[in-house]
Amino acid sequence: MTETNDLPITVAGAGSVGCYVGARLAAAGRSVTLLTRPALAAEISRHGLHCSDLEGHDIDLGPDRLKLSSAPSEALAGAKLILVAVKSHDTDAMAALIAEHAGHDAVAVSLQNGVSNAGILREHLGPERVVDAMVPFNVVQNRPADAPPRFHRASGGVIQVETTTTGLRSVLDVQHMPVAERDDIEAVLWGKLLVNLNNGLNALSGLPIVEQFGDRRWRALVARQLGEGLAVLNAAGIRYAPYEGVPQRVLALALRLPDALFRVAAKRMLSMDKNARSSMWEDLQAGRHTEIDYLQGEIIRLADQVGHPTPLNRRVLALVKEAETAKKGSPGLSPEAVSGAL
């Protein structure tokens, strides 16, 4: 991967995160194809794409700067690097499409939530063709009428990729989107999963994350859910890395602080767009299946193996499933309604 700008890159499942990453790569001169839904492909082909971040690094890409496709056979053929950005429940289907349509020398990188996606990709493609990665930031998508779709990075963080000898980091590490290599990527993913347990709570609240974290009642639930996850991983002997340099136990303690102290202690954590919500909230709003089985579900499966109680994680999973079935968006629950009789 030495000829970085000539390397054909396909973003497979270009939604919020995929379009943001693809846009940053294209702005740096990379050859990028977005494999996305027909409606979004049509909007970008008409208006281009707008990309922004918390630091004010805005870019506008014209339709000519990106290749667009809704046909896997077209988008995957000839790709040398495939950035997999589909939801976890679609990984198996996308892996099969990559195996069918991409060349045998194409490398797939998982830019997904959860800890099992790279394993699924490897079952289809072989271990030597898959690289695991972790995207720490939140991307907010906005699609105004008769204007470029907007993809805004609403929180901070550096993309972490599994250390390889292929030169992958030099391809992905571009201006305003730094990338670092990690030898402990599995621990990094488990560390993120623990933090991502809040996705379910945020989806149930319907609140922006900053507003949710401004309420000590919600923070207490986040801390309790995190504590269950920590106990399960410790019992299972699974290593987890600090998230963005902050140990999860320290985070759990900070979440229980009074509001004024929390705002001081968590100033960096709260440095995000005031309107940012979790991707799980977006899924509920759109009537889609969520990734709850790959977040709370992973903790619950491990808990069953080690015999450790996880009542709050089970409660959150059940409530999110109810909201999925109702297809009425976020239920806008209170902390007390989530905790129930726990």
132 and 224 together in one domain: no
130 and 209 together in one domain: no
Considering 148, 163, 183, which residue would you say is the last residue of a domain? 183
97 and 130 together in one domain: yes
Domain count, the chain: 2
In the chain the beta strands, taken as DSSP E runs, fall at 8-12, 31-35, 49-53, 59-61, 67-69, 81-84, 107-110, 130-134, 139-142, 150-153, 159-162, 179-182
136 and 241 together in one domain: no
Query: Best-predicted range by mean pLDDT among 5-9, 144-148, 310-314?
Result: 310-314
Q: What is the CATH number of the domain that holds 315?
A: 1.10.1040.10
Mean pLDDT calculated for residue range 105-111: 97
279 and 327 together in one domain: yes
Model confidence at 1, in pLDDT bands (50, 70, 90)?
Answer: low
150 and 201 together in one domain: no
What is d(CA 330, CA 204) in angstroms, rounded to the nearest whole number? Answer: 6
138 and 234 together in one domain: no
48 Cβ contact partners less than 8 Å away, ≥ 6 residues apart: 60, 61, 62, 63, 65, 148
232 has a pLDDT exceeding 70: yes
- Percent of residues, the chain, with pLDDT higher than 70: 99
Mean pLDDT calculated for residue range 70-92: 97
pLDDT score recorded for residue 340: 85
User: Phi first, then psi: what are they for 213, rounded to 5°?
Assistant: -75, -10
Q: What is the CATH number of the domain that holds 86?
A: 3.40.50.720
8 and 156 together in one domain: yes
Mean pLDDT calculated for residue range 293-303: 98
155 and 243 together in one domain: no
- For residue 253 the two structure tokens come to 């303690």
Considering 155, 183, 211, which residue would you say is the last residue of a domain? 183
Torsion of CA 68, 69, 73, 74, to 10 degrees: -50
For 178-218, write each residue's pLDDT tens digit: 999 999 999 999 999 999 999 999 999 999 999 999 999 99
For 31-49, write each residue's pLDDT tens digit: 999 999 999 999 999 999 9
131 and 233 together in one domain: no
Range of the domain at 98: 4-183
For 141-169, write each residue's pLDDT tens digit: 999 999 999 999 999 999 999 998 788 99
Q: How open is the CA angle 242-179-70, to the nearest 5 degrees? A: 110
Are 27 and 5 spatial neighbours (Cβ–Cβ below 8 Å)?
Answer: no
What is d(CA 56, CA 54) in angstroms, rounded to the nearest whole number? Answer: 6
Closest CA to 109 of 79, 137, 138, 151: 79
157 Cβ contact partners less than 8 Å away, ≥ 6 residues apart: 135, 136, 137, 244
Mean residue pLDDT across the chain:
95
| The pTM of the whole model exceeds 0.85 | yes
Considering 134, 161, 183, which residue would you say is the last residue of a domain? 183
Are 204 and 338 spatial neighbours (Cβ–Cβ below 8 Å)?
Answer: yes
pLDDT score recorded for residue 3: 62
2 has a pLDDT exceeding 60: no
pLDDT score recorded for residue 34: 98
Are 289 and 283 spatial neighbours (Cβ–Cβ below 8 Å)?
Answer: yes
What is d(CA 186, CA 189) in angstroms, rounded to the nearest whole number? Answer: 5
326 and 219 together in one domain: yes
262 and 149 together in one domain: no
